Amino acid sequence: MDDVYARISRAELDGVWQDGSIPVGHATFKLGDLEAVIGDNSAHEGHRAGYNGLWSLRHKSSPKNLFVPAVAGLNLEHIINGEDDRDRNIFFEPRVAPMTFRKINEHEAELHQPPTPTFHLESWTRFTLRAPHYVDMTFRCKAHQHVFPRGWATVFWASYIHGPMDKSMYFLGGQAKGERAWQQLCTQRHNDESTVLRDGEEQLLTFAKPGAEALYKNFSPQRFAEPHFHGRVDDLVFMVMLDRAESVRLAHSPSGGGFDLERNTSNPAWDFQFVIPKIELMREYGFRARTLLRPICPRAELLKEYEQWRKSLS
């Protein structure tokens, strides 16, 4: 892995956090068509330190891990306040700050990150497998100190996809006459027009300069109409759905997951962001998401999956 996502501290590679402890915490879960390994940001065998979330996700029809094996999917990666982000341990603070794993039952686990050293943001991320091919995610967070001088905060997740022939993300976008049509996003290079806003959103967030180049600072001219996206990996489709559009941004990198030597291609990152426009001290914020991994199907089936899930939330 040779880009901005890959350059992490020596402590991370050794699996030792800044306080000198050696954290552990992961488990394998099986339900329906899926097998998932859920874990914190510790290292274990071939899994690199810093990459929390879904360490792996497999469908019964394929032996292949959907995500780059050494890293993860739905990886809590950035907390953003718009200030100088050149320090790597601050830029990737959720990777290097202590995090704990708790297995709740045979199909559910939770990751807890106490208030982080720089942003003092505490978070809880719960993953639940549901038959036949879903992983539900609930995220909650709370700011413990006033360290967001611009008034807003953004939290960022990355999924590093393992060598797909098609690196694109697909989503519904608005058209000039108010109609929706499928949009394709495959950025030409890392940090190039990478973040997609929703229809009607203005780029209200501002960033200090100079700072690190980042996906969340570079905007695509495309817009999404509904808070979901999907992509194809071999004979499977991976889809991410979120419970709201107004606080969501999508993002893409063609090479965020490094390079797949076996397939002689780069591993893209299919990402999303949760924006808190006006963050208040000790107030809880959060959202719900559903991911699915299933054999390729018509897009009408994917929209049906999304509508059914949205109805179930209410």
Residue pLDDT, tens place only, 195-243: 999 998 887 898 987 677 899 999 999 999 999 999 999 999 999 999 9
Instruction: Decide: 74 and 287 in contact? Cβ < 8 Å.
Output: no
CA distance 98 to 109: 17
Query: In this structure, how many other beta carbons lie within 10 angstroms of the beta carbon of residue 236?
Result: 22
Q: Which of 73, 71, 36 is nearest to 50 (CA)?
A: 71
Order of strands across the sheet with 169-174? 100-105, 108-113, 121-130, 134-143, 284-295, 236-242, 228-233, 169-174, 180-185
CA distance 148 to 163: 37
Helices (H), the chain: 10-14, 88-91, 93-96, 299-313
Which pLDDT score, from 0 to 100, does residue 212 have?
77
Q: Measured between alpha carbons, how far is residue 210 from residues 19, 84, 232 in Å?
A: 30, 7, 37
CA distance 302 to 279: 33
Q: Which residues of the chain have pLDDT under 50?
A: 1-19, 21, 23
Output phi, psi for 312, to 5 deg. Answer: -65, -25
Query: In this structure, how many other beta carbons lie within 10 angstroms of the beta carbon of residue 248?
Result: 22
- Fold that domain 10-313 belongs to in CATH: Beta-galactosidase; Chain A, domain 5 (2.70.98)
Instruction: Decide: 140 and 59 in contact? Cβ < 8 Å.
Output: no
Which pLDDT score, from 0 to 100, does residue 176 have?
54
DSSP string, 216-228: GGSEEEEEESSSE
303: left (phi over 0), alpha (psi -120 to 50) or beta: alpha
DSSP structural state of residue 207:
-
Which pLDDT score, from 0 to 100, does residue 249 have?
98
Which pLDDT score, from 0 to 100, does residue 262 have?
87
Q: Could you tell me the residue ranges of all domains in the chain?
A: 10-313
Rounded to the nearest 10°, the torsion over CA 138, 103, 94, 224 is: -30
The model's pTM is 0.91
DSSP string, 92-156: THHHHS--EEEEEETTEEEEEEPPPTTT-EEEEEEEEEETTTEEEEEEEEEE-S---TTS-EEEE
Which pLDDT score, from 0 to 100, does residue 175 have?
64
Which pLDDT score, from 0 to 100, does residue 24 have?
54
Q: Which of 158, 249, 133 is nearest to 201 (CA)?
A: 249
Residue type at 138? T
